[in-house]
Amino acid sequence: MNFKIENKIKNSLGRAGMISTSHGDILTPAFVTVGTKATVKSLSPEQVREAGAQVVLANTYHLYLEPGEKIIKESGGLHKFMNWQGPTMTDSGGFQAFSLGVAYGNKLSKFIAAESPEPEEIDEAYAEEKDKKAKITEDGVEFKSIIDGSTHFFTPEKSIQIQNDIGADIIFAFDECTSPHASKEYLKEASARTHRWAERSLIENSKLKIKNSKQNALFGIVQGGRYEDLRVESAKVIGEMDLASRGGGFQGFGVGGSFVKEDMATAVKWVNEILPEGKPRHLLGVGEPIDLILGVENGCDTFDCVAPTRMARNGTLYTKHGKINIMNAKYKNIFEPIDEGCECYACKNYTTAYLSHLFRAKEMFASTLASIHNLYFLNNLMSQIRESILNNTFPDFKNNFLENYKS
C-alpha cells in the first residue's frame, strides 16, 4: 500500500490524496461502504460501484461466525468470494467488544451529547457478565456467538489470523472500543491494553506476511475516549510503534473509540496533530455528512459507517437540505426526485412518491433504491470535498454546505 498527498487545506490538517492498493486506488477523502457479511445489504456489487463506492469494509467477527474465514480463504479471498474487484478493508472485531459487551442491552452508542449526565458507577457495567456477549481480559475478548451462543476467544493474534484468511487489502489491529460513559480510570486502562494488543497484532501480521507473502496493510488504532491527554498519549504510542525486526510500524492509522458528539472534531484533531502526516488516517464508525466534513478538515482520509444503508432500509434519506423520512404523508404526492440535482440511479429514474409507495407497501425494492441514494449522496459529498481541496476552495464549500444542511 502506498499513500500520496496531493494537496492540503490551508491552515488545517485536511488533505486530498490517493491510497494505492493491489486492487486499485482510493481517491481520498473517501467514504468506505460497509458490507458487514461480505455483502452490502440489498445491493449487488455492481450497484455499489455505480453508487460511487471505491472501497468496501467487511466485519471480521461476523464473517468468522458465518460462513467462517476458512471458507472465504478457500474461495480465493474476500474479493472473489463477494465479487468485489476494488479495494477492501476488514475491522478487527474490537468494536464488538463494546457493542456485545457494555453496550449490549443498554442501548449505548459510541457518541454521547455534551450535556449527558455521567451514569454512576458506570464501570460496574464492564464487570457485570449477566446478559453480556463479550468479556474483556488482558489476553483478549471472550465472545458468545450471536448465532448459537457458543463461546469464542479473540486474541490480537487470532484477529490478525482471521483477517489474513479473509484477505482484505487493509486490516486493523485488535483494540478495545470503550463506552463514552466510561470513567477516565477505565479508559486509561483500556487504552494501555489496546497499545499492548497493537504490538502483538503488528508482530503477528509481520509473521504471516513473511510466511504467506501477503501484501496487506495493517493500521494501528488510537483510543483514549474523550480525554485529550489519553488521546495524545495513544497517538504517540501507536504512531511511533516501530518494530524494526518485524518489518517496521503501522502503514496507516484508525481513530477509534467513543466521543462526545459536539467535540468529535476536536478529539480527531488532537490525534492527527501527532500521527505521522505521510500515512493515511481512518475514522472508524463515523458517517454523518457534517461529521465527514469536520473529520476531513481535521486530518482524516477515510471513514466508514453502517448509517447510510441502515437508515435507508428504515426510510430515512439524505438530501442537500438534511434528512427526510419518506414515510411522512407529505411525500406521497411529490412527483419529483428525492433530491433535486442528484445523479443517482434512484433519483434519475423514480419519484419521491414512488419510493414512498414502495416503503408503505413493504416492497424489497424500496431498500435497494433508498440504499443506492444514500450511498451515492455520501460518496458524491466526499468527491465534492476532494475537488474543493484540490481547487483550494474547501472553506467556501464547507460554509455553503453547513448553511443548507439541517442535521
d(CA 157, CA 174): 8
| Secondary element (H or E) of residue 217 | strand 217-222
Partners of residue 21 on adjacent β-strands? 24
pLDDT, residue 399, reads 97
Q: Which ranges of 101-183 does DSSP label H, i.e. alpha helix? A: 124-127, 156-166
Confirm whether residue 85 is marked as ligand binding.
no
b/e map of 14-44 (b: 16 or more CB within 10 Å)?
Answer: bbbbbbebebeebebbbbbbbbbebbbbbbe
pLDDT, residue 112, reads 65
Residues 217 and 244 both lie in one domain: yes
Confirm whether residue 94 is marked as ligand binding.
yes
Query: Residue 268: which domain range?
Result: 2-305
Residues 120 and 225 both lie in one domain: yes
Residues 332 and 277 both lie in one domain: no
Confirm whether residue 148 is marked as ligand binding.
no
d(CA 196, CA 41): 35
Q: Which residue has the cell 477515510?
A: 302
pLDDT, residue 248, reads 78
d(CA 20, CA 256): 23
Q: Cβ of 322: how many Cβ atoms within 10 Å?
A: 12
Q: Is residue 310 a part of any domain in this protein?
A: no
Residues 368 and 279 both lie in one domain: no
Q: Is residue 54 a part of any domain in this protein?
A: yes
pLDDT, residue 327, reads 97
Residues 299 and 340 both lie in one domain: no
Confirm whether residue 177 is marked as ligand binding.
no
Q: Is residue 273 a part of any domain in this protein?
A: yes
Residues 20 and 144 both lie in one domain: yes
pTM above 0.85, yes or no: yes
Confirm whether residue 339 is marked as ligand binding.
no
Residues 179 and 262 both lie in one domain: yes
Pair 246, 210: CB distance under 8 Å: no
Look at residues 243, 270, 305 and tell me which one is the last residue of a structural domain.
305
Confirm whether residue 165 is marked as ligand binding.
no
Helix axes 394-404, 364-390, angle to 10 degrees: 140
Q: Is residue 126 a part of any domain in this protein?
A: yes
Look at residues 305, 330, 358 and tell me which one is the last residue of a structural domain.
305
Confirm whether residue 257 is marked as ligand binding.
yes
pLDDT, residue 123, reads 45
Return the CATH number at 157: 3.20.20.105
- Our count of domains for the chain comes to 2
Residues 295 and 328 both lie in one domain: no
Q: Which ranges of 51-183 does DSSP label H, i.e. alpha helix? A: 60-65, 69-74, 78-82, 94-99, 124-127, 156-166
Residues 251 and 323 both lie in one domain: no
pLDDT, residue 260, reads 80
Confirm whether residue 347 is marked as ligand binding.
yes
Pairing of strands 30-34, 302-305: parallel
Q: Is residue 311 a part of any domain in this protein?
A: no
Residues 282 and 143 both lie in one domain: yes
Residues 199 and 347 both lie in one domain: no
Catalytic residues: 91, 304
Look at residues 305, 339, 357 and tell me which one is the last residue of a structural domain.
305
Confirm whether residue 223 is marked as ligand binding.
yes
Confirm whether residue 93 is marked as ligand binding.
yes
Cα-based distances in Å from 393 to 15, 186, 261: 12, 42, 26
DSSP track, 321-334? TEEEETTSGGGGG-
Residue ranges of the chain with pLDDT lower than 50? 117, 119-130
Residues 362 and 273 both lie in one domain: no
Confirm whether residue 315 is marked as ligand binding.
no
| Secondary element (H or E) of residue 365 | helix 364-390
